Amino acid sequence: MNEFPTQGRLPPELIEIGPEQEGQRIDNFLTTYLKGVPKSFIYRVLRSGEVRVNKGRAKPTYRLKEGDTVRIPPMRRGEPQTAAAPGKKLVALLNESILYEDAGLLIINKPSGIAVHGGSGVSFGVIEILRAARPEAPFLELVHRLDRDTSGCLMIAKKRSALRHIHQLLREEGMEKRYQALIQGPWHGGERRVTAALRKNVLQSGERVVRVEAEGKQSQTLFRPLQRWPMATLVEAVPLTGRTHQIRVHAAHLGQPIAGDEKYGDAEFNRAMQEKGLRRLFLHAASLSFTAADGNRIAVSAPLDPALKKVLAALGNAIG
């Protein structure tokens, strides 16, 4: 028997969306609003149509608008589980990683190995750590995501208006992101643009992978060589579109996968790089730049962490 059934004898709850909720996905809104209700049940009532927006069905990805009326069926709510508090060292690490902060935005140099959010066996990620460290903050939301093993520039919105503005920039390609990656083998020539279409796939095991497929979504990445060695090349990768695992899959498509990539990489190359001291995916969100809502230009860069610099040093003298 489900522990969180809807309570048909009670009237539904009607909520009018205000300006601070505008732009938020309805599944995320309900997860926050319905404390103690499992996410699986929230998605169930969304799919069944028991949750309504302006009297109509809404997909989990629907983004709320100011003035929307959300109908929530009455349901019994469990007591919210108390999440484990992040350790002081993790909080201190993120505080030391702040690259930029203003009234609406926070940008950190995310360390490798820390997820951006909790879930799938992870008690807490960057967003949970920041919320625990700043309990007085009325609003903290991820603007975008980085893979757990990827380090570098990560944006967190402190205001709904900032979140909406940057999401608009991302949709309209008004945000420039630059990554650094160490890829397999020597690079021949200069700048190269990859335009291979990408499609998400889910294996029978449930693992999510992205593949180059003609019927996939149009995707573009610009690669520029920075330093070359006989066995590897440090490149700058500029994603001109924002697909899942885009840089990793495009690099593998070139036949030069990223060092330490266990999903799309080359096992023999990864072992050789482990001998050079690499213990993670060599992909780093090095910089981003954009125009803020007030017209000011924001440009932030994140240096490579010492562990990655040691790997480059272990490769010896660059050949170009």
Kindly report the CATH number assigned to the domain that includes residue 108. Answer: 3.30.70
Burial label for 240, CB within 10 Å (0-12, 13-18, 19+), is middle
Active site residue 27: no
On whether residue 83 sits in a domain, the answer given is no
Amino acid of residue 60:
P
Please count the structural domains in the chain.
Answer: 3
| Contact status, residue 260 vs residue 281, Cβ threshold 8 Å | yes
Tell me the residue range of the domain where 191 lies: 176-314
Distance (Å, rounded) from C-alpha 42 to C-alpha 40? 6
CA distance 74 to 36: 14
Distances (CA, A) of 55 to 61, 107, 207: 17, 38, 36
Report d(CA 284, CA 181) in Å as an integer: 6
Per-residue pLDDT of the chain (320 residues; tens, 9 = 90+): 345 555 555 678 888 887 667 778 888 888 878 877 888 888 889 999 999 999 999 998 898 888 899 999 887 665 545 556 778 888 899 999 999 999 999 999 999 999 888 765 567 789 889 988 898 888 898 999 899 999 999 999 999 889 889 988 988 888 999 999 999 999 999 999 999 999 988 776 667 889 999 999 999 999 999 999 999 999 999 999 988 899 999 999 999 999 999 999 999 999 999 999 999 999 999 999 999 988 999 999 999 999 999 999 999 998 87
Are 20 and 96 within one domain?
A: no
Tokens standing for residue 53: 């927006």
Q: Is residue 301 part of a domain?
A: yes
Residues 68 and 92 in one domain: no
- 222 and 304 together in one domain: yes
Using only the alpha carbons of the chain, give its radius of gyration: 22
166 domain residue, yes or no = no
Round to whole Å and give the CA distance between 259 and 278.
Answer: 8
To which H or E segment does residue 192 belong?
Answer: strand 192-194
Q: How far apart are CA 251 and CA 182, in angstroms?
A: 10
Q: Are residues 289 and 254 in the same domain?
A: yes
Contact 61, 264 (CB under 8 A): no
List 27, 102, 147, 266, catalytic entry: 147
Q: Residues 274, 191: one domain? A: yes
Q: Are residue 187 and residue 290 in the same domain, yes or no?
A: yes
Do both 63 and 18 map to the same domain?
A: yes
Half-sphere exposure of 267 (CA within 13 A, CB side): 0
Residue whose token pair is 């009455």? 74
The CATH number that applies at residue 18 is 3.10.290.10
Q: At 228, which CATH number?
A: 3.30.2350.10
Q: Is 126 part of a structural domain of the chain?
A: yes
Question: How many CB atoms are located within 10 Å of the residue 85 CB?
Answer: 13
**Contact between residue 177 and residue 238 where contact means Cβ atoms under 8 Å apart:** yes
Tokens of 93: 């690490």
